[in-house]
Every structure is written in C-alpha cells, then in structure tokens.
Amino acid sequence: MKTIYLIGSLRNPKVPSIGKRLRRLGFYVFDDWFAAGPVADDSWQQYEKQKGHTYPEGLNGLAAEHVYEFDRKHINNANIGILYLPAGKSGHLELGYMIGQGKKCYILFDEEPDRWDVMYKFTDGVFFNFEDLAKELEK
C-alpha cells in the first residue's frame, strides 16, 4: 500500500478531512503530527524561552529532537508527499526534503493564490481541488 505523508499547518483545521479523503482512496496516510494541536510550536518556544534558551539551543533540546525524529521517520517511510496549503516554512522544508529523495510530491491549494511561485515546478503537480489530485494519485 502506498503511504502518503500529508504535510500542512497545525493551524489548518481542514487537514484531518483531507487525510480522511485520501484514506478513502485506499492510501495509508500519515497525518498524526496534527494531534499536537494548533499551538504546539508556540508552546515549545515559550517553554524553551522560560528555560532561558535561544532558538538554536531550543532546536538542540530533547523536545525538538523527538518531534523532528518522529516526523522524519514518517517522511522517510512515505512514498508520496502532499503539501496542503496554506502551510508555513516547516511544510515547505518537509516537501523539499521529500522531493530531494526523489519521491512523488504534490501541492494542494484551497484556492489559487494571489502570488504565484515558479519553484512549485519542483513538484509532480499543483492542484486547486481534491478531485483533480485524486485522479492523479489513482494513475
């Protein structure tokens, strides 16, 4: 069974519904990172600052290491990456990492963006509705 790593924002409440729709197509979908909740990164930052740590020190802490290894393990195990936008820097880094591994990678927008980005040509496809993405995945 093909595995999809669904990339998105912790603050995007639509991520679980996209994961559910992908599962209905017969894929194993990893989106468990979403369980951390919409303020997970903010809470981690506040915690590290309370300890007197800088951003680089926080990145080297155990909490960051565990989250990073958890996500990286599942990114490495996936065959396909889908970045569901809007998403931030982490999502784009994760997708870039998967592209660098030679995996099939796609972007799914909620709507066409005001600003276009030519670097999305690195992906195997850009979609503006789930149905078109589903057709591509079923090939």
- Structural domain of residue 106, as residue ranges? 3-36+77-137
Taking the C-alpha atoms of residue 35 and residue 60, their distance in angstroms, rounded to an integer, is 23
Task: Identify the pLDDT of residue 18.
Answer: 98
Q: For residue 37, what pLDDT is reported? A: 95
Provide the domain count of the chain. Answer: 1
Q: Is residue 97 part of a domain?
A: yes
Estimate to the nearest angstrom the gap between the alpha carbon of 134 and the chain centroid: 18
**Position 116 in a domain:** yes
C-beta of residue 115 within 8 angstroms of C-beta of residue 95: no
pLDDT for 1 equals 83
Nearest to 106, CA basis, from 1, 30, 5, 15? 5
Task: Give the relative orientation of helices 62-77 and 40-50 as an angle to the nearest 10 degrees.
Answer: 150
* CATH at 19: 3.40.50.450
Q: Does residue 49 lie in a domain region?
A: no
In a domain, 114, yes or no: yes
- Is residue 92 included in any domain, yes or no? yes
In a domain, 128, yes or no: yes
Each of the 139 residues of the chain gets a pLDDT tens digit; together they read 899 999 999 999 999 999 999 999 999 999 999 999 999 999 999 999 999 999 999 999 999 999 999 999 999 999 999 999 999 999 999 999 999 999 999 999 999 999 999 999 999 999 999 999 999 999 9
In a domain, residue 99? The reply is: yes
Tell me if 59 is assigned to some domain: no
